[in-house]
Homo-oligomer: A and B are copies of this chain.
Amino acid sequence: MSNTKNFHMTSEEFRRQGKQMIDWIADYYETVEKYPVLSQMHPGEISHQLPLDPPSESESMEQIMSDVNSIIMPGITHWQSPSFFAYFPANTSGPSILGDLLSSGLGVQGMLWATSPACTELETRVLDWLAEMLQLPEKFKSTSTGGAVIQDTASSAALSALLAARERKTNYQTNDSGCLGNLVAYISEQTHSSVEKAVKIAGIGRNNLRLIGVDEKLAMRTDLLEKAIEQDLVNGLVPFFVCATIGTTSTNAMDPLTEIGHICQQYQLWLHIDAAMSGTAAICPEYRFILNGVELADSFSFNPHKWMFTNFDCNCFFIADRSSLIKTLSILPEYLKNQATESGAVIDYRDWHIQLGRRFRSLKLWFVIRNYGVNGLRHHIREHVRLAQEFAGWIRTSNDFELVAPAPLNLVCFAHKKGNDFNRKLLETINREGKMYFTHTIIKDQFVLRMCIAQTHTQAQHVLQAWETIIKTVSELTI
Contacts and interface: CB of A to CB of B under 8 A. Distances in A.
A472 interface: no
Most buried by B among A38, A200, A311: A200
A5 interface: yes
A57 B194 contact: no
A129 to B, nearest CB: 4
A379 B181 CA distance: 53
Contacts of A287: none
This chain's copy number in the assembly? 2
Contacts of A129: 53-54
Nearest to A345: B43
A175 B14 CA distance: 48
Contact of A201 (B202, B374, B380): B202
Interface string A217-229: 0000000000000
Interface residues of A, number: 172
A313 B106 contact: no
Interface string A165-180: 0100000001111111
Contacts of A450: 335
Nearest to A305: B357
A90 B109 CA distance: 7
A116 B375 contact: no
A383 B22 CA distance: 33
Contacts of A132: 53-54
Contacts of A475: none
A441 to B, nearest CB: 5
B175 A205 contact: yes
Interface in A132-174: 132-133, 152-153, 155-156, 159, 163, 166, 174
Given A22-B19, A129-B54, A193-B333, A80 B93 contact: no
B8 A115 contact: no
A313 B353 CA distance: 15
A64 interface: yes
A245 to B, nearest CB: 13
A284 interface: no
A405 interface: no
A114 B38 contact: yes
A238 to B, nearest CB: 12
Contacts of A72: 118, 122, 363
Contacts of A93: 8-9
Given A79-B106, A156-B354, 16 more contacts: A8-B94, A14-B25, A14-B29, A17-B94, A17-B98, A25-B105, A28-B105, A28-B106, A50-B125, A55-B370, A61-B371, A107-B311, A152-B355, A178-B203, A192-B333, A197-B331
A471 interface: no
Contacts of A337: 440
A106 B76 contact: yes
A68 B102 contact: yes
Interface string A356-390: 11010001001101111111110110010000000
7 contacts: A7-B376, A55-B370, A63-B370, A72-B118, A79-B107, A152-B355, A335-B440
